Amino acid sequence: MDPLEAISQPTRRRIVARIAELGEASVNDIAAPLDITRPAVSQHLKVLRESGVVLERKVGRHRLHRLNPEGLAQARAEIELFLVNELDDLETAARQIVGSRSTNRTEVVK
């Protein structure tokens, strides 16, 4: 799964926001204010790790999670590309509408 697809799910976006707030955190710290179980958070973290959005490091028996700037940069690049394409499509559609209105006005004047 790519980073953008991973963060498209609302619960995972909440988890990413929580990690961003904490900097680095355990599953317990991440799950505390969220209305989901620790096992569910762990499953979402697995998806986020596999997609490259989150990094994990072990400290003794604990696993700490932090955001991966490279994974987030990839998601951002995909979003920017999507927006550029959508804006290009919008511009094309707007030009077509303006062009058709100009043609219709010319016909009415004749």
Share of the chain above pLDDT 90, in %: 55
Q: What tokens were used for 98?
A: 């303006």
What's the pLDDT tens digit per position in 6-64?
A: 998 999 999 999 999 999 999 999 999 998 999 999 999 999 999 999 999 999 999 99
pTM of the model: 0.73
Q: Residue type for 93, please?
A: A
**pLDDT of the residue at 108:** 54
What's the pLDDT tens digit per position in 52-83?
A: 999 999 999 999 999 999 988 888 888 888 88
Contacting residues for 16 by C-beta, under 8 A, at least 6 apart: 7, 48, 53, 54, 67
- Give the domains, in start order, of the chain with CATH numbers: 1-110 (1.10.10.10)
Which spans in 1-68 are helix H? 3-7, 10-22, 27-31, 38-50
First-last CA distance in the chain: 59
| Spatial CA neighbour of 30 closest among 10, 17, 5 | 17
Q: 96 pLDDT exceeds 90?
A: no
Residue 69 CA to its chain's centroid (Å): 13
